[in-house]
Amino acid sequence: MGALARNRKRIDESLTSYSSSPLSPNSRIPKRPKLFSPPLQPPTRPASNRAVARVSRYPPPQPSRRVHAPCKPEKFSSVSSPSRGACPPEERSGDDEGMGNTFSRLLEVYNQAKKEALTTIPDRSKEKEVIRLDEEDDEQNRVSEDSSVEEVVDLGDDEPEELELERRKKQQPSDFTTLTVNGSSLRVEAAEKMRELMSLDPEDLPRYKKLIEEVERKSTPKLKQLGFEIQVAENKRALFESLRPKKKKPVDEAPVEPFILLKEEEKAVVDRAFSNVNRRKVLVSHENSNIQITGELLQCLRPRAWLNDEVINVYLELLKEREKRDPKKYLKCHFFNTFFYKKLIGGRSGYDYKAVKRWTTQRKLGYSLIDCDKIFVPIHKEIHWCLAVINKADQKFQYLDSLGGRDAKVMQHLARYYVDEVKDKCGKDIDVSFWEFECVEDLPEQENGFDCGVFMIKYADFYSRGLDLCFHQKHMPYFRLRTAKEILQLRAD
């Protein structure tokens, strides 16, 4: 540490002597002459900090000599205003004219290349030609009315490229036509342009023919397959059309008896029965069924009312009595009441024949069910009435719903019942496996929510006559009045 201190002291003394003593004849002279020499600084008082005192003893830096060399001007820089890195004004005075000429020549080359590029665009027939006019004729320049030629004013070589692009965009819609189809706009080529494109060159005709043949070769098998499928579908439709049952006869061709108009005195009797005065009064009493019809029960036959069990059961009894009066005119039928089917399927396991076994004894009916052509079973589904028919004449189990519903389970239960009934009453085993289960279609359907009961009893009325169901929703008001009249008379016509 002592040696290092002594060396440092010697270095400091030498530096001090160099900075304070004048140049000696043996001292080193720099190669480059100095333009100016700064005045010698008087010795300063050493600072307290030794490092700062040492730095202050060094000679001040000498300014470097400027070297005159050619410099490249900045691109598109102003000649009059020098920029960073440009030559000094005193050295650039002789080159101002040369640089201006160079920039002018570059601008001329650019404009010449631009013109040559525009002239190289190929001319097409029926297209617009751009004619550049001199600036002296600016007032007379205008767009020509000819669709194939358009005059465009030349704004000079210094015209911005944006204006040129905008002018070209404005020229494009002339080759197109806007069509409006169903509120939507379609941009299609103009008629002349389309004719030009559609016209074929005779030399290209063989190539187009070959292309058309190739398209036909690829599409012909698909078209044949599609035609075959269409033919098969048409045959199926014709087959289903032939199997579809024929439409029912119109009401005009139906018999007159089911639609006999009521007389005025008959309407008056029905109106009195519907009055509130007779609501608690027993209007009629049916002895065979032991059912009494009061004015309140008869109110269900008024418009927009739901039929009740008493009115339905009395009317079905009247239909059976009508058959007995004139057996030759009507089919031999049996009419179960509205409680039969609920009793039949009300057992613990569902179907229960024993619950209804005594309903059809010979002593009660005077005949056997196997002798009947049709057996009618009213079906009540909470708030909707339907009708099931055991049609022995046609060997069918039928289901009729005025709302177009289907219920195969009802027909299965009735098929099982019919087999058990015949075996119990006649001791015969019959096979109904080949009988048809039919949910009748093309039948009159209701168009409201309260006429299902009237539709159901009229299904039974027309089928018991051997007639087709040739009535409609519009007949329901009449059928309500007629049913009320027949119940009050205890006679079905």
Instruction: Please identify every residue annotated as catalytic.
Output: 384, 401, 452
Beta-bridge partners for 385: 380
Structure tokens at 69: 């060399």
What secondary structure does DSSP assign to 176-224, as a single string? EEEEEETTEEEEEE-HHHHHHHHPPPGGGHHHHHHHHHHHHHHHHHHHH
Backbone angles phi, psi at 17, to 5 degrees: -70, -35
